[in-house]
Structure formats: structure tokens, C-alpha cells
Chain A
Amino acid sequence: MALKLSKKTFKGGAHPSYKKELSATKPIAVCSLPDEVILLLSQHIGAPAVAVVKKGDKVVAGQVVAEAESKVSSRILASVSGEVSAVEKRLSPSGQKCPAIVIKTDKENNDIKKFDPIKEPKPEEIINRVREAGIVGLGGAAFPTDIKLQPSKEHKIETVIANGCECEPYLTSDHRQMLEEADALIDGLKLAMKVLNAAEGVVAIEENKADAIELLSQKLANENNISVLALKTKYPQGAADMIIKTVIGKEVPVGGRSTATGGFIQNVGTLINISKAVRDGMPMIERVVTVSGELVRSPQNFRVRIGTPISHLIKEAGGLKANSGKVIIGGPMTGLAQFSFNAPVIKATGGVLVIEDSVNGKKSQNLNPCIRCSRCVEACPMGLVPSALSIYSQVGIFEKAGEYDIDACIECSSCSYVCPANRPIVQMIKFAKQKIWDSEKDNG
């Protein structure tokens, strides 16, 4: 079906400088195997996986090393062959130490233990394969994909949306995958449509990725129920609520699932992994990561094994140009600043950035007053009044923040980004949310 240009967009949002040109034209390179991989047991939303190997065990890439024992969980597969050197707490991208399985890589042994390919998969077979391959949403939320593929029976899915917006600045891993693995993407989209019995498929891409829009439009020219939709470039277009609003025109209920709108969103990388798991039997042991930023010598996109320490990735990208700066896992709008190079790539890691610190060094230690300029009100894609939420959080009147619909906040950081007083608005909102949850727990 022909390309559709969307004039529609969502209300609010921000226009950060995207800086995608640093890595957008670099083909995906295969990253060398690191000396060891660190497989965190909790890389997804839901219960952590439970280790089924112990120190000293020999493992093969693709072998299960931690099993999902609860429904909402995801198993972890060895991403390299080698020997389990430790089952211990290691630094995670969040800055905390979390349980992990560490494997010392056997670099001579490059075999990957795959599943049997499925030629004509039935819906249950697809769901089972997604679960056994350990696939989770790769766009950042890392929700177990097999659970997501089985929405509530009340929710009839009409449209499956392949999310190729990639609205975070610097990141180009989804962009490169759309260009280099377009066939697998289309196949993955069709598999998801089959499982959900959905009539329509849409590949949603922001306008700033014109080559991907063109390629997918060509490939989908003869499909009558799958189209490419070019969306306006605006942060956070790729967030579930925004993309559903733009593509389907409906609103995701606050506190509810996006599937209630009849839409089902899946990141393009996840769909590619579904296709590979079904067609090639490939387990979820690698992903594409953008290594970029002004301080990286050779910004590029890597296919990298899960658990690879970011120090290895940065060396692979030629190392750094400077001896100080900000190291971020994820995108610059919502990613996490690191205090070491030891954290590993997890399933949800789309980028590793090293940039100059242009924000924190300038911030005063004091919390600046809100001057009520209303920029955050205009930027909030959810229609909230972030300034009021931040002030209620600051003075500790959390119930009032609840009355101002704080639970609708999707934590996209647009408010903090536009704030001329440099107030950490989104962090204050997160703090208030936590306080409200805590008090709700206390009150049963």
C-alpha cells in the first residue's frame, strides 16, 4: 500500500537537536566478543529470571542460563560460549548492583545453539518461540513480548504498529535495522498480525528517516493491508500514547493498556527479533546498539552480544577523544548517566553515548524557583501542568499532585528539557509518584 504522510501529530512535545548524522549512515558492524559478558537476571519488566547454572559450568551461546519462573518474566540465554565465572551482584545501567551471571568467553567457539526454524508457524507456536527465545520489547520498556502478544480478550486488536520513530536524539539503531533488515521487519510485523488476528499493519517512521520510509514503501508497495506512515519529527513521538494518538487517533486510558485502543505497538527491533526467532531459530542474545556522542572517536552502530560491558563497546568505537564527560546508557532525553564503564548492555539498551557535559556543570546546587513561564505546560504531551506537579512535590503535598493527574505522566522529560530555570521537573514528579504509591501501599 502506498506511503501515507501524516499531517497529524500529538499536542506538545519538544524539538531537541537530533544529532543523528553522527551515526545514521554507518552500517551495522559486528562487535567483537568481549572477554566476559555480564548477564543481569532482571533485564525486563516483571520478576527477575532465576539462575539455572552455577560457577564453573560450561555453557554454549543460546543455552538457557536463567529461567523465567513467573508468568511476567523473561528467560536469559547465554550470549557467548564459555565458562560461568561467577553468579554475583554486578553493576547495572541503573547504577545499582544487581544479581548477574558472568560468563568468561571462549573466543574459539563461535557456535550458537539455535531453535528449530518454523516454516508455517501457528499463532501458539509463535508465542511459544518468542517466550523460549527470551524476547522482550527492545524500545526501552523491556516488557516480555510473549505476554504482550496475548492481550486481554476484551481488547480486539485492529492495527499492529511497527514503531520506527526512534525519537531520542543520537540513536540510530532502529533506523539502521529498518534499512538493513527490512524483510525481517515486514515478516515480524506479519507474524504479530497473525498472532493477534489484526487486519491492518502500519510501519510508523519519523520524517527525518527518509531513506527508511522510501525503502519500506517500496517493499510494501504490493501489500494491501500494510502501509508506511511518515510522522512529524517531534519528541516523544515514539512513546506509546503519542504514537497511538497519532496513528489511530485514540487515547490510551491512563493506568490502562495501549491495547484497549485496538492498537498494538511493537518496536521495529523487537519485530525483527521475532522473525529471526521463528524463521531461523535465533535466540535473543544480541541486539543493535548505537555508540555515539561528540566524544566518541568513531560513532557507529554495532550488533553486540547482550552482557557486553560498555567499556568494550566504546573501545570498539575507537575510544574517546576526551578524558572527562558524560557517559549515558540509553538516549539523552531519558537515559542514565554512568559513573563507570562497567555496566553491561542489556536487552533494552539502544545506545551508549559519551557527550560533553553541557548541562550539569552549569546547574547551580540550589533548586531554582519556577518562574511560571508555561513552557512545560506547552511541552507536556499528556496535557499536564508539570510546573504545578513539581512544586507540589517540592513542598511535599503529594495528594495535591495526585489531584493534578500525576499518574498520567509518561516521564518523557520534555518538561525538564524546556525548563529555563533548569528545574529537574520529571525527577520531582517521579519522586512524588513513588511517595503516592508508598502511601497507597501503607493504606492497603
Chain B
Amino acid sequence: MDNFKFTVGPAPHIEKTEDTSKIMFWVIAALLPITIGAIYIMGTPALIVIAMSIAGSVGAEALWHAVSKKPMTIADGSAALTGLLLALTLPPQVSWWLPLFGGFIAITIAKFIFGGLGYNIFNPALVARAILLLSWPAQMTKAWLEPVNIDAKTMATPLYIAKKIPASFDAQAFIKSFLFTNKAGSIGEVSAVLLLVGAAILLFKKIIDWRIPFFYIGTVAFLTFAAGKNPTFYVLAGGLIIGAFFMATDYVTSPITPRGRIIYGVGLGAVTVLLRFYSNLSEGVMFAILFMNMLAPLIEKYSRPRVLGMAGKAKS
């Protein structure tokens, strides 16, 4: 005991099981089923988009740290995750430089300009997607792979057909196609089933809170049903599943309070349905999430949990 080397530090003194990078890698792991499934179905084009997007985001992270001289945070996995998420929202046949540029702006414009991990207001992957969509609308809405069996001529997405060409819309045929087929849509829309496998992993590992996806999807289903449309189709179509489980649940940009997450989920559902039915767009998930990102701090402020014993606090 004479030459004992003491380590000192603040309590608590015992090990916990989670850290930031473990959480990020679990989210990436949960996205592997859909990623592998998409590459299997779509082949090389999807692989190129995914690789370029991750290269763009991780490269931007490295560059930023070289410029800012702050400690390297690539190892926490958050940049790679942003790149992967962005790739899953892109069509498979875009030019190779588009996802590269997208990954780069996701990290620089949406993340580091706001102060880096933990400080960004908007979901970085969706900011990048919004910028790409507004800058290169033709590529972003037409570079789908040739659909195998559904409406090969128009190459329109199921939601587009439902909205703009109701005459050729068959909800039941589309619902079957959402399970695991190639159709007009983004890489991550290949299979709702594989996305749900990943969602189940995140819920089981308690990495995401059930409240946001439950109230988001629940609200969409309820409102579409109330509007006399097919809720199953509108839940499975487009980016709702990937958005509800993997993007709306982004820690940094969603409310931190339990009640706030319920309000947030309901708000997301309402805005998505509004956009899908009443705007010029056929899809509404991306702008709904970006819009609700903006409201998250406000929702959080007014949804704090009840503090134990505060009601009886002695007035001083």
C-alpha cells in the first residue's frame, strides 16, 4: 500500500455500459439490413451512392477538424451515420458526385456551422437532401431505377401516382411492393420490412424512444383514415418508416422531454399529411421533420416533466 497509485475523479465511480460512439454504431447496425437489402436489389448504383455519401460526410468531418484544430470526432461514428442516412434518402441512379457533395454539406453546413455534434438545429442528412432536391430537382426525382413491374412508363413514385394520376392508382398492389421490391423511390424505400427490423433493434436496445415513431405513424394513419384514404398505403409509402424511426428520433434535433416527444410526433404526423394531401409535393416527410426540428426547442420548453415537490416549495 506504500506506493499505491491513486486515481481520483468525480462520482459516480462505476462503469456504465453505454457511450456516444456505441449508440451511433448501434444505429448504423440497425440500418444494415436495409442497406444490404438495397444493394442486393438495386446493385452497384446503390452501393456507389452509399459509399460516396459516407465518403463525403466523413471527409468533411476530417477536414473540419483539420481546419478548426479541435479534437477528432470521426471515431464517434456520427458522421458516418449521417452519410449513410443521407444515402438512403437518395435515388439510386444520381451522378456519383451528388451524394459526395450531399455528405459534405450535411456535415459542414448543417452540423459544424452550428457548433458540431449536439448543437445542430436541423437533421444534417435531411438538410443536405433538401439542398440537393432544390438544386438538382431533375436528378433527385427521376433517377430511380427502372421499376420491375409497376407503372414502368411514368417512373413515378407510388405517392406521386396516388396524388397526380389517381386513375392508375392501385393501393393493394403497391402495399405488396413495399415489402421487398424494386420500385420508383429512394434507396431506403426498398423494403419497409427491413426498415422495421432495424427499428425493432433500436427499440429493443432502448436507443430510441417509442413515443416519436408511435405518435408520428399513428397520427398519419389516423388522419389518412379520417380523410377516407387507405392508411396502410400512406404509412408504408414514401419515407415515413425510415423518417419516423431513424430521422425524427435523431437525439440532437428532437425534444428531450417525454411529453414533448408525444407533441412532436403528433405534429410530425399532421404536417406530413398536410403536405402529402394539400401541397404541390407528393411526399412530406422530409419537410415535416425539418419544420418540426425548428419547433423542438419551443416544444421542449413547454413540456418539461413535473418536478417532484415543486408544488409545495416554500415561497421565499
Q: What is A's interface to B at a CB cutoff of 8 Å?
A: 10-11, 16-17, 169, 241, 245, 251-256, 260, 311, 314-315, 319-320, 323-328, 332-341, 353, 355, 357-361, 363-364, 366, 368-375, 377-378, 380-385, 387-388, 404-405, 408, 413, 416-422, 424, 426-427
Contacts and interface: CB of A to CB of B under 8 A. Distances in A.
A10 B306 CA distance: 13
Contacts of A325: 4-7
Interface string B240-276: 0000000000011010111000000000000000000
Chain B binding site: helix, strand, loop or mixed by DSSP? Answer: loop
B11 A371 contact: no
Which 7 residue pairs are nearest across A and B when measured between Cβ atoms? A253-B312, A369-B118, A360-B9, A324-B5, A358-B15, A357-B7, A383-B305
Among B305, B308, B310: residue with most chain A CB under 10 A:
B308
Contacts of B304: 383, 385, 404
Interface in B271-296: none
A251 B209 contact: no
A337 B7 contact: yes
B4 A254 contact: no
Contacts of A359: 9, 12-16
Chain A binding site: helix, strand, loop or mixed by DSSP? Answer: loop
Contacts of B310: 254, 405, 408
A35 to B, nearest CB: 15
B9 A326 contact: yes
Contacts of A324: 4-7
Interface in B109-160: 116-119
B173 interface: no
A373 B251 contact: yes
Contact of A251 (B16, B254, B309): B309
Given A377-B257, A384-B307, A341 B1 contact: yes
A424 B10 contact: yes
A315 B2 CA distance: 12
Interface of B: 1, 3-16, 18-20, 22-23, 71, 116-119, 209, 251-252, 254, 256-258, 304-314, 316
B6 A385 contact: no
Contact of A382 (B1, B117, B118, B308): B308
B313 A256 contact: yes
B1 A314 contact: yes
A443 B305 CA distance: 31
A411 to B, nearest CB: 9
Contacts of A381: 308
A341 B4 contact: yes
Contacts of A366: 71
Among B15, B209, B316: residue with most chain A CB under 10 A:
B15
A426 B7 CA distance: 19
Given A256-B314, A408-B310, A361 B7 contact: yes
Contacts of A427: 10
A255 B19 CA distance: 34
Contacts of B18: 375, 418, 420
A408 B118 contact: no
B256 A408 contact: no
